[in-house]
């Protein structure tokens, strides 16, 4: 609903409904009354007790009487004579305290009487005065109700507009230009503007919306633009300017402008919101100023959230949204390119010259990008020192642009005035084509090319090319990492467990190794061979290890009571990368200590090569876990340096002989003697041994003969859901509690 028409309509229907009781009252007082009519200030009849229509002559009389009333403040009315010679008593109704302004006229028509009956107007006025006063009050009361309804209706509609404005972009992290366009259109519609504009020069943002009704020439914005911006600078509040003369082309127009500054978070103006009305339209009023201020405030917040304060470029979420809507709207034939820029060694600049210099470098890069950005292109600072751009251009044009940008970045060290500071960037470029299936893949491709530029010496531009094998490998990795991260967020990682069964009666506590699985986007469960090597190359193993350890502990917690006597031991893998991560040890120790789980029911597996490669850190972590009471296993033993000298310094409780030896034990005497030697030595050192990859019964029997304590492999038990193993836990607990441990080696339960 727009604001100016509805109020008048409601007034005419509600205010003037039946006034019959008053007409009857007056008739009692004036028996000769033939009719009572009420007129508004335009001399239009609003209600009448008379059956016949009020003629033009009467209306003219009332019209003249209204001017008399204006000249005679405080007078109650006058006596007139109708064309038919009948007396017409006219009473002027005024609001309380208003001497001049008449809001309605009551006309009482009487039949002509005899000479003797003719009395002065004051006589009749005194007679009917109480009745007329009641009528006046009634009309005023009705008027107030209507005004109230109007103002409620207006407030309702203001509120719904503001709610719409507040809701724009609220569900998303940041807002796109589309949201701003919606807000502008909404404000224009609601405030009956023929034209609305939002101008924020520092963000290259100019949005113009021509109203649906009484649309005005958008060219007027260009004419008023400078004036509006300086107004926003001078007055930090909404301002109404009437009769502003603007010329657009040949035409000169006169209009009314409501302008309101758009403020930054610190209260300084960054732009202006302006609404235009034709000069012949009703003027803007104070209410509109308040509304415009609220809208401008919302717009200011949206812009601040969408743009990075340091560089003036879009933030990552705003960029993604904008890119998505641009690509959705693109025509089939247009080619787009994605560009990914990574600043080289910005941390060195921060460390050497201070964060403020690092910030200045980023600001300058942002400025450089903004200055060079071709029309229609979109640019963002997507994280600390990384930028992303999307623009409408072929790959070769995009790579030329990237090269010019790289050279521009190189010159920044000189501009900042310190020759010793080396500023440079690596840039990757990729086409957004059918194969890249949208921008996520295109940006992954551009990022891959950028990483290749880093590998190949930095400060260079690389284009994503499918013939470039190393780039393709990185590209696959980036996609795998993306899938893995999504799987973590979407809860699509799960834990399996595989039995390590005792091979002789010397041991009777079954172990289970916890193994990670991912349910991929197609719903297929895949093993670590699909994702762990990429995770290793991208150094996100600590993130994965934390997840696995945390999840395993969460799943074991409900069984803490059963695990108190360690009827079963669970082994958990972790990677060499986690050893080097500060805080990892504390994190894991904290998890175990607060879990309430018996630490002896947990054993941590680290590969031999990871342990030997990070001996110092490995030793620290192992000692800490060992002190807590957890077991430590050396995994894939035999594939690393296999020096038992190293082992002496580490608090290890278990050695897992690598599957490659076990698999060959029947056919390779060297493998067989290696297993035997390790088994004997380990026993001498009080270490438990495990043979991995026990794929047949023959292998199981042979490794048992060679003195290996435990077997793990498909012939003993395939990995199964950890949840299923936990469901069987009471069985293991009962077996462990029995006074005679089973004679036969443990194989059956979990298979
Ligand atoms: P691993 O620690 O040596 O784990 C044993 C791997 O051998 C498992 O593969 C298991 O399914 C497989 N395996 C077991 N028995 C046999 C057999 O008889 N024949 C053959 N051919 N293979 C068998 P999976 O689950 O694919 O794990 C592969 C590797 O991924 C693991 O090797 C481990 O290094 C890593 N990994 C698995 N889960 C995790 C985890 O939660 N955290 C970390 N950091 N690494 C994990
Ligand atoms: Ca393992
Ligand atoms: Ca292993």
How many CA within 13 A on the CB side of residue 472? Answer: 5
Q: Output the CA 408–ligand 2 centroid distance in Å.
A: 50
The residue whose CA is least distant from atom 33 of ligand 1 is: 573
The answer on pLDDT for 359 being more than 50 is: yes
Using alpha carbons, list the distances in angstroms from residue 487 to 483, 492, 530, 573, 717: 6, 5, 13, 19, 27
The residue whose CA is least distant from atom 29 of ligand 1 is: 528
Select from 262, 282, 306 the last residue of a domain.
306
Task: List the one residue out of 742, 656, 636, 745 whose CA is nearest residue 701.
Answer: 745
Q: Output the CA 596–ligand 2 centroid distance in Å.
A: 24
Are 439 and 341 found together in one domain?
A: yes
The answer on pLDDT for 172 being more than 80 is: no
Select from 154, 175, 196 the last residue of a domain.
154
> What confidence tens digit (pLDDT) does each residue in 579-598 have?
988 899 999 999 999 999 99
Which long-range contacts link 684-687 to residues 24+ away (Cβ below 8 Å)? 685/644, 685/647, 685/648, 687/647, 687/652, 687/653, 687/654, 687/655
- Average pLDDT, integer, range 400-412: 93
Lowest mean pLDDT among 252-266, 314-328, 625-639, 710-724: 314-328
pTM value is 0.51
| Rounded CA separation 69/75 (Å) | 7
Contact predicate 665/671, CB 8 Å = yes
Give me the CATH number covering residue 328: 3.30.70.270
Are 106 and 249 found together in one domain?
A: no
The residue whose CA is least distant from atom 44 of ligand 1 is: 574
Contacts of 679 (CB under 8 A, 6+ apart): 689, 706, 707, 708, 709
| Rounded CA separation 22/203 (Å) | 66
> What confidence tens digit (pLDDT) does each residue in 264-282 have?
888 899 999 999 999 888 8
Are 410 and 522 found together in one domain?
A: no
| Rounded CA separation 510/206 (Å) | 71
Residue 662 lies in a domain: yes
**From the CA of 693, which ligand is nearest?**
1
Best residue for ligand 1 mutational test, from 497, 636, 692 (most atoms within 8 Å of Cβ)? 692
Contact predicate 221/195, CB 8 Å = yes
- Average pLDDT, integer, range 387-395: 91
pLDDT higher for 100 or 211? 211
| Whether the CB of 529 sits within 6 Å of ligand 1 | yes
Residue 505 lies in a domain: yes
Are 233 and 140 found together in one domain?
A: no
Best residue for ligand 1 mutational test, from 573, 654, 664, 751 (most atoms within 8 Å of Cβ)? 573
The answer on pLDDT for 734 being more than 50 is: yes
Distance of CA 713 to the CA centre of its chain: 47
Residue with tokens 């008053």: 22
3-state SS assignment for residue 600: helix
The answer on pLDDT for 689 being more than 80 is: yes
The answer on pLDDT for 333 being more than 70 is: no
Q: Output the CA 541–ligand 1 centroid distance in Å.
A: 15
Are 235 and 322 found together in one domain?
A: no
pLDDT of residue 52: 59
Using alpha carbons, list the distances in angstroms from residue 311 to 36, 308, 314: 75, 6, 8
Give me the CATH number covering residue 142: 3.30.450.190
For helices 615-628 and 584-595, angle between their N-to-C axes, nearest 10 degrees:
10
Residue with tokens 């409408």: 392
**From the CA of 500, which ligand is nearest?**
1
Four-point Cα dihedral 377, 380, 386, 389, nearest 10: -10
Residue 749 lies in a domain: no
| Whether the CB of 658 sits within 6 Å of ligand 1 | no
Q: Output the CA 68–ligand 3 centroid distance in Å.
A: 109
| Whether the CB of 464 sits within 6 Å of ligand 1 | no
**From the CA of 515, which ligand is nearest?**
1
Best residue for ligand 1 mutational test, from 488, 528, 570 (most atoms within 8 Å of Cβ)? 528
User: What separation, in Å, do the N-terminal and C-terminal C-alpha atoms of the chain show?
Assistant: 72
- Average pLDDT, integer, range 636-656: 81
* Ligand 1 atom with least separation from CA of 574: 44
Phi, psi dihedrals of residue 572, rounded to the nearest 5°: -125, 130
3-state SS assignment for residue 455: helix
**Which H or E element spans position 329?**
helix 316-329
Q: Number of helices and strands (H, E) in the chain?
A: 27, 25
pLDDT of residue 580: 85
Q: Output the CA 515–ligand 1 centroid distance in Å.
A: 6
Tokens for 554?
């969460």
Q: How confident is the model at residue 621 (pLDDT cuts 50, 70, 90)?
A: very high
Are 166 and 145 found together in one domain?
A: no
**Which H or E element spans position 602?**
strand 602-607
* Ligand 1 atom with least separation from CA of 572: 41
Are 150 and 229 found together in one domain?
A: no
Are 117 and 46 found together in one domain?
A: yes
pLDDT higher for 597 or 82? 597
The CA-CA-CA angle for residues 352, 353, 356, to 5°, reads 135
- Average pLDDT, integer, range 608-612: 84
pLDDT of residue 95: 87
Sheet architecture: strand order including 33-39: 45-48, 33-39, 102-110, 87-94, 77-81
Tokens for 357?
């210099």
| Whether the CB of 387 sits within 6 Å of ligand 1 | no
- Average pLDDT, integer, range 328-353: 84
Using alpha carbons, list the distances in angstroms from residue 237 to 198, 208, 305: 15, 21, 22
Q: Output the CA 604–ligand 2 centroid distance in Å.
A: 9
- Average pLDDT, integer, range 159-186: 65
**From the CA of 658, which ligand is nearest?**
3
Q: Output the CA 296–ligand 3 centroid distance in Å.
A: 63
Q: Output the CA 474–ligand 2 centroid distance in Å.
A: 26
Query: Could you tell me how many residues make up the chain?
Result: 751
| Rounded CA separation 176/325 (Å) | 9
The CA-CA-CA angle for residues 190, 191, 196, to 5°, reads 100
| Whether the CB of 631 sits within 6 Å of ligand 1 | no
Are 63 and 206 found together in one domain?
A: no
Residue 261 lies in a domain: yes
| Whether the CB of 571 sits within 6 Å of ligand 1 | no
| Whether the CB of 662 sits within 6 Å of ligand 1 | no
% of residues, the chain, pLDDT over 70: 89
Tokens for 240?
């109404």
Q: How confident is the model at residue 2 (pLDDT cuts 50, 70, 90)?
A: very low
Residue 194 lies in a domain: yes
Structure letter (DSSP) for residue 76: -
Average pLDDT, the chain: 85
pLDDT of residue 488: 86
pLDDT of residue 568: 94
Q: Output the CA 562–ligand 2 centroid distance in Å.
A: 24
Are 244 and 281 found together in one domain?
A: yes
DSSP string, 168-190: TTTSSSS--HHHHHHHHHHHHHH
Contact predicate 475/498, CB 8 Å = no
Contact predicate 573/635, CB 8 Å = yes
Give me the CATH number covering residue 260: 3.30.450.40
Select from 306, 334, 355 the last residue of a domain.
306
Residue 190 lies in a domain: yes
Are 457 and 565 found together in one domain?
A: no
Residue 113 lies in a domain: yes
Contact predicate 64/132, CB 8 Å = no
The answer on pLDDT for 113 being more than 50 is: yes
Neighbour count for residue 602 (Cβ, 10 Å): 26
The residue whose CA is least distant from atom 15 of ligand 1 is: 713
Structure letter (DSSP) for residue 430: E
DSSP string, 573-595: E--HHHHTSTTHHHHHHHHHHHH
| Whether the CB of 365 sits within 6 Å of ligand 1 | no
> What confidence tens digit (pLDDT) does each residue in 178-206 have?
678 888 988 998 888 999 999 988 777 78
Tokens for 109?
């028509």
| Rounded CA separation 603/22 (Å) | 97
The answer on pLDDT for 552 being more than 60 is: yes
| Whether the CB of 635 sits within 6 Å of ligand 1 | yes
Phi, psi dihedrals of residue 688, rounded to the nearest 5°: -85, 140
DSSP string, 425-450: EEEEEEEE-TTTTTHHHHHHHHHHHH
Are 195 and 76 found together in one domain?
A: no
Q: Output the CA 683–ligand 1 centroid distance in Å.
A: 25
The residue whose CA is least distant from atom 8 of ligand 1 is: 515
Give me the CATH number covering residue 573: 3.20.20.450
The answer on pLDDT for 737 being more than 90 is: no
* Ligand 1 atom with least separation from CA of 548: 41
Task: List the one residue out of 181, 162, 178 whose CA is nearest residue 288.
Answer: 162
> What confidence tens digit (pLDDT) does each residue in 502-542 have?
999 889 899 999 999 999 878 899 999 889 988 887 788 99
Residue with tokens 């020759």: 419
Neighbour count for residue 585 (Cβ, 10 Å): 18
> What confidence tens digit (pLDDT) does each residue in 487-513 have?
888 889 999 999 999 999 889 899 999
Contact predicate 180/165, CB 8 Å = no
**Which H or E element spans position 720?**
strand 720-721
DSSP string, 612-670: HHTHHHHHHHHHHHHHHT-EEEEEEETSS---HHHHHHS---EEEE-HHHHHTTTT-HH
Using alpha carbons, list the distances in angstroms from residue 601 to 37, 360, 748: 99, 54, 21
| Rounded CA separation 632/623 (Å) | 9
Q: Output the CA 305–ligand 3 centroid distance in Å.
A: 49
| Whether the CB of 714 sits within 6 Å of ligand 1 | yes
pLDDT of residue 750: 38
pLDDT higher for 434 or 694? 694
The answer on pLDDT for 473 being more than 80 is: no
pLDDT of residue 739: 58
How many CA within 13 A on the CB side of residue 362? Answer: 26
Contact predicate 207/198, CB 8 Å = yes
Number of compact structural domains in the chain: 4
Residues of the domain holding 62 = 3-154
* Ligand 1 atom with least separation from CA of 656: 3
Residue 484 lies in a domain: no
Buried b (16+ CB within 10 A) or exposed e, 304-327: bbbbbeebbbbbbbbbbbbbeebe
pLDDT of residue 168: 59
């Amino acid at each position: 609903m727009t604001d100016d028409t509805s109020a008048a309509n409601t007034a005419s229907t509600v205010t003037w409904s039946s006034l019959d009781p008053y007409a009857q009252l007056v008739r009692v007082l004036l028996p000769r009354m033939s009719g009572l009519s009420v007129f508004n200030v335009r001399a239009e009849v609003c209600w009448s007790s008379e059956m016949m229509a009020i003629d033009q002559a009467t209306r003219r009389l009332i019209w003249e009487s209204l001017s008399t009333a204006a000249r005679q403040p405080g007078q109650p009315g006058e006596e007139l004579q109708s064309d038919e010679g009948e007396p017409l008593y006219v009473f002027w109704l005024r609001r309380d305290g208003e001497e001049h302004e008449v809001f309605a006229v009551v006309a009482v028509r009487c039949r002509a009487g005899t000479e003797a009956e003719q009395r002065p107007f004051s006589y009749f006025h005194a007679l009917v005065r109480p009745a007329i006063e009641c009528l006046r009050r009634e009309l005023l009361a009705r008027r107030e109700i209507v005004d109230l309804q109007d103002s409620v209706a207006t407030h309702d509609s203001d509120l719904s507009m503001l709610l719409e404005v507040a809701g724009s972009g609220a569900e998303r992290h940041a807002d796109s230009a589309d949201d701003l366009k919606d807000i502008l259109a909404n404000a224009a519609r609601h405030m009956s503007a023929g034209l609305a504009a939002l101008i924020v020069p520092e963000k290259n943002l100019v949005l113009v919306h021509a109203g649906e009704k009484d649309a005005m020439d958008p060219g007027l914005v260009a004419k008023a633009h400078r004036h509006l911006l300086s107004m926003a600078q001078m007055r930090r509040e909404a301002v109404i300017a009437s009769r502003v003369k603007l010329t657009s082309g040949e035409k000169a127009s006169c209009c009314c402008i409501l302008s309101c500054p758009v403020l930054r978070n610190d209260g300084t103006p960054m732009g202006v919101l302006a609404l235009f009305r034709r000069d012949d339209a009703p003027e803007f009023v104070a209410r509109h100023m308040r509304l415009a201020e609220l809208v401008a405030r919302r717009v200011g917040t949206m812009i601040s959230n969408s743009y990075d304060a340091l560089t003036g470029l879009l933030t990552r979420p705003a960029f993604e949204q904008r890119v998505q809507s641009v690509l959705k709207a693109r025509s089939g034939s247009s080619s787009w390119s994605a560009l990914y820029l990574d600043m080289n060694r910005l941390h060195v600049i921060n460390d050497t010259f201070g964060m403020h210099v690092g910030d200045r470098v980023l600001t300058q890069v942002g400025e450089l990008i903004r200055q060079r950005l071709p029309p229609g292109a979109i640019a963002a600072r997507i994280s600390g020192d990384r930028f992303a751009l999307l623009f409408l251009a072929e790959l070769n044009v995009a790579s030329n642009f990237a090269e010019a940008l790289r050279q521009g970045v190189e010159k920044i060290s000189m501009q900042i005035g310190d020759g010793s500071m080396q500023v440079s960037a690596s840039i990757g470029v990729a086409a957004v084509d059918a194969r890249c299936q949208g921008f996520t893949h295109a940006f992954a491709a551009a990022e891959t090319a950028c990483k290749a530029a880093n590998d190949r010496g930095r400060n260079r531009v690389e284009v994503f090319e499918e013939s470039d094998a190393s780039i393709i490998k990185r590209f696959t990795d980036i996609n795998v990492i993306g899938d893995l991260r999504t799987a973590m967020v979407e809860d699509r990682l799960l834990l399996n467990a595989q039995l390590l069964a005792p091979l002789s009666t010397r041991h009777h506590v079954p172990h289970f190794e916890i193994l990670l699985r991912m349910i991929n986007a197609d719903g297929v469960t895949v093993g670590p061979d699909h994702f762990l090597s990429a995770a290793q190359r991208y150094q996100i193993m600590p993130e994965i290890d934390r997840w696995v350890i945390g999840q395993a502990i969460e799943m074991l917690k409900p069984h803490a009571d059963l695990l108190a006597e360690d009827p079963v031991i669970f082994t958990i893998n972790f990677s060499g990368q986690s050893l080097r991560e500060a805080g990892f040890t504390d994190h894991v120790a904290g998890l175990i200590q607060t879990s309430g789980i018996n630490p002896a029911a947990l054993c941590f597996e680290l590969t031999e090569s990871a342990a030997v490669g990070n001996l110092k850190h490995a030793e620290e972590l192992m000692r800490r876990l060992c002190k807590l009471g957890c077991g430590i296993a050396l995994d894939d033993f035999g594939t690393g340096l296999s020096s038992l000298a190293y082992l002496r310094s580490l608090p290890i409780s278990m050695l897992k002989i690598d599957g490659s030896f076990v698999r060959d034990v029947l056919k390779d005497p060297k493998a067989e003697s290696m297993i035997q030697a390790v088994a004997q030595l380990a026993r001498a050192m009080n270490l438990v041994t495990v043979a991995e990859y026990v794929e047949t019964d023959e292998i199981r029997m042979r490794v048992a003969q060679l003195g290996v304590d435990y077997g793990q492999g498909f012939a003993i038990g395939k990995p199964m859901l950890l949840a299923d193993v936990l469901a069987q836990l009471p069985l293991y607990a009962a077996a462990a509690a029995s006074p005679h441990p089973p004679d036969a080696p443990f194989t059956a339960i979990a298979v």
